[in-house]
Structures are given as structure tokens and as C-alpha cells.
Chains A and B, each alone.
Chain A
Amino acid sequence: MFVVIGVTLFLPSSGLLIVENISQISNNIEYDAELSLFLEKGIKQDQIDFIQSALNKTSIIKKTHYESKLTAWDKLQTKLNLNPLNTGISKNPLPDAFFISLNTFNEKEINTLIDNLNTIDGVENIFFDAGWVKKLRSILYLSKIGLALLGSILIIILIVVIGNTIRLQTLTHKDEIEVSKLIGATNSFIQRPFIYTGLIYGLGGGLITILSLKVTIEIFNKASINLEAMLGGTFILKSLIWQQNVSVVIVAILIGCFASFFAAQQSIRKFEIFK
């Protein structure tokens, strides 16, 4: 029974461990929603200044960075090591641009801003970068919901398994229960040892889960370090913090107690005495 509980709780716990580790990485990355605003070719400086002042007046814009087409062209050439003579590009093909950091992720506000910016003369194109980190966080959020669902299903399975075990135990103690009832034992008195059994199952199962997680992390991290030489990078799994470990054990104990309480209660009530 300990192993059954341990292995069953290991599945959602290991999932939680992975999600927690990836969440920590994504939380360490600072990012903002960004707009790239490309201007029409041949735009005059007056118009650029007007757009700059319009952007400065918008409350959801955190900061703006203007990049002229000359600067952009220089950067591109340097980055790609281009020589205009070799590539055959004689004219700068890049437009002037504003790169805008926003202080919101609210899509409605962002879309309104894009619509407003599109009405300004001299604005050619606007691109909204939703941000891969945001996508990652969304995936993690969904993973957490998935894990919660998986955990709930597994908890129900555990309750059924422990409940059936306790029900079988009440059957093997049928005579004792009947005699106890006849001499004045209350149902709660009779239930007590079965609840203790459920508690011990939960405690043992919870400890096996934590132990399994520790062993798995150790094995994974060792393998990861060995790969470092080959791939040039590592991903070290961090253990669950002690509060999470305690929570796993408490959840296991609660499952054990809950399942045994109801299984014993139902079973004991059904026993008819003196027949």
C-alpha cells in the first residue's frame, strides 16, 4: 500500500517539480510587451518629432526608442558583415522605426493603441511582439491546471484504493467489530484503528514519494552534469522546498485518513449484529 500511494503521488509531484523549475527560469527573465512602429520612407523630421511627442503622451507606453534608418542599416551591416559592393544593394532598404515598450499586457488596450497609431500620418506598419516568454508562461499556467486535474484524478483513485483496502480489513475484523458493538462500543471507537491505519498508509506513501523525487533529481542532475561536456550547457533540477515536501506528506496523510474514515464508517454501519 505504501508503494502504491508513493508511486501514485510521485506522478503529480514530479510534474509539479518540473513546472516549478521551468517557472523559476521564466520568472527570472524580465520582458515587456513591445511594439515595432515602422515609418514611411521619405518621412520628414517634423513628422517624426510629432510621432515622438504623440507617443510620449500615451500613458500605456513605458519607453520609446527611435532608430533611424541609417543607424539600423549600419547595425545590420555590422551584424551580418555585409559589404554593399558585394551584395549589390546600393540604397538603404530599411525604414525609420520606433521600438516601444509597453507597461501592460492587456490586449484590448494594446489593440486600441495600435489602431490609434495607424491613423497617424507617416506610420507604415506596426508589429506587436506578444513575447515568447508570455507564451511560455501561458504554457506553464496550462501545465499547472493540467497537473491539478491529474492530481485530482489520482487522489480520487487513491481514495478508492485505500478505501477498498480498509473495507477489506473491516471484513477480516468482522467478529471483533460485532462483539465490540454488542458490548457498547461506539462507531467512532471502532473506526479509530482503521483511521490510524489510513494515517500510517498516508505517512509511509508520502515519505516514499519524497524519497523517489530526491532519487530522481539526483539521477537527472548527475546525467545533466555528464552531458555538460558534450553539449556545453546544463539544466539542474532544484528539489522541492521543504514546505512543499511537508505539503506532499500532509496531503498523503489527509488522503489516507479521509479514505479510511469513510470506508470504515460505511462498512461498520452495514454490519448487523446478533443475527
Chain B
Amino acid sequence: MINFDKVFKRYPGNMDALQNITLEILPAELVFVTGPSGAGKSTLLKLISSVEKPTSGTIIFENMNLSQLNTRDIPYLRRKFGMIFQDNKLLYDRNCFENVSLPLAINDIDGIDINRRVRAALDKVGLLNKERIMPISLSGGEQQRLAIARAIVSRPSILIADEPTGNLDKEYADEIMNIFYSFQQVGVTVIISTHELPITPIKHKKICLIGGQLKDQLSHVPLLS
């Protein structure tokens, strides 16, 4: 599904954020990108979502070479992804319904369908009863669930989450992770960057980055599964 082949990313100032990364992410895989701060986790996710372009090497997604992607095609590529951020990037002047409906408006979905799909997404994350509430009134965990609803509403094939539980207590963090696991179970590829690998009962891949280099790429099948 996503293939990195000898990918280097160098930022201005000669800092190598990623060096010689070669990896493969398969469909419906749960992938944890781990490593300490500055290891290159966020850069890896930025390369997948074409926020950054690699300095050298190739990234192939659905037969598209992302390193040579035309600037005009980038928005259409991003519509295939659902993205979740540590600071959730919600719009605080819009209510929950309006936040979640934004990707559908961008995709030119008609009003009736928007209504149905937004409610389904909110239901999935347990926020259906709060659709007219402003995000500022929600707890940290609820805000992150709202961000997940926004990411899944356009039914992406890949969910990309950059430190989604970084600002949350353990209780809320587990709740968020369980939501991700449920999406992986129905065939969505889930890529999560995190400082610490959570204890998970399902099969997953761990990509460990240190200092921009790939140290480890292992598939784990937990005994519990």
C-alpha cells in the first residue's frame, strides 16, 4: 500500500530528519511509528501526507510516486487520508457537527448525505448527543474523539495519527486507542506515531526511528490475540 525506498529528508541547515528509510505498510495494517523526540516520526507522517517532499528516494502510494506528485494533485491525495493531530486542530468557532462536516463539504457531498454521514461518524466516537455543542465545552478526550470523527467521516482508507494521545490521561488515551483498533479491524490502515508503544491486544507493526534512521521494523502478534 505504502512503500518507502531509500528515502532521505534533509531540512534547510543540513539537518537529516530521515536517512535511507526503506519500509512497507500493508493494507489494513496497524502501524506504530515510535522513537524519541526528534527521531523523525512526524517527518515520516508528513512525507506520507505530502506535506513535505523527500530529498531523495521514492514513496509509492497506490501506484503514485509521491516524490513527483504535482502540487495540484496533493489536495486530492490528502482526501484519501484521515488525519489526527496531537493538538487535534479543531475549529473552535464551529460546533461539533460543523467540524466533522468540513471534509464532506470539501468533497462536494450533498447536504442530506452530509447530515447522515456526520451523525454516523459522531455516533461511532460516542458524540452523537453533542453535535450542536462547541468543541471548547468538550473534555480533552472528547475533543480528540471529535477529531477522529472528522478524520473518518469521508471514509478514508488510511488513518494517520500524529501523537493522538500525547496530551491525554491514560484513561482517555486507552479510549482513543480502542477507537483506532476498531477501525483497523474493519480494514482501515492505521498509522500512529507515538513516544511509547502502547500495550495492544491485536497484531501490529512497529517502526522504530532513532536519529532519523530506521532501527527496527517488526510485526508483532500479541499472545492475547
- Which residues of A come within 8 Å of B, CB atoms? 175-176, 178-186, 189, 273-274
Contacts and interface: CB of A to CB of B under 8 A. Distances in A.
Interface in B86-104: 89, 91, 102-103
Contacts of B51: 182, 273-274
A184 B91 contact: no
Nearest to B52: A274
A176 B103 CA distance: 12
Given A176-B91, A274-B46, A182 B106 contact: no
Q: How large is the interface on B (under 10, 10 to 19, 20 to 34, 35 or more residues)?
A: 10 to 19
13 contacts: A179-B91, A180-B106, A181-B75, A183-B78, A183-B103, A183-B154, A184-B77, A184-B78, A184-B79, A184-B106, A186-B75, A189-B75, A274-B51
Contacts of B75: 181, 184-186, 189
B18 interface: no
A178 B79 CA distance: 14
Q: Is the interface of B mostly helix, strand, loop or mixed?
A: helix
Interface string B152-187: 001000000000000000000000000000000000
B107 interface: yes
A179 B102 contact: yes
Given A182-B83, A183-B150, A273-B51, A175 B106 contact: no
Nearest to B106: A185
Contacts of B154: 183
A189 B102 CA distance: 12
Contacts of A184: 75-79, 103, 106-107
Interface of B: 46, 49, 51, 72, 75-79, 83, 89, 91, 102-103, 106-107, 150, 154
A174 to B, nearest CB: 11
B45 to A, nearest CB: 9
Given A274-B46, A274-B51, A180 B102 contact: yes
A184 to B, nearest CB: 4
User: Top 7 A-B pairs ranked by shortest CB distance?
Assistant: A184-B79, A184-B78, A274-B51, A185-B106, A186-B75, A184-B75, A183-B103
A183 B83 contact: yes
Contacts of B106: 180, 183-185, 189
A178 B51 CA distance: 11
B78 A175 contact: no
B91 A183 contact: no
Contacts of B77: 184
B218 to A, nearest CB: 28
Given A182-B49, A183-B106, A274-B51, 9 more contacts: A176-B91, A179-B91, A179-B102, A180-B102, A182-B78, A183-B102, A183-B103, A189-B106, A273-B51
Contacts of B49: 182, 274
Contacts of B103: 183-184
Contacts of A179: 89, 91, 102
B72 to A, nearest CB: 8
Contacts of A182: 49, 51, 78, 83, 89
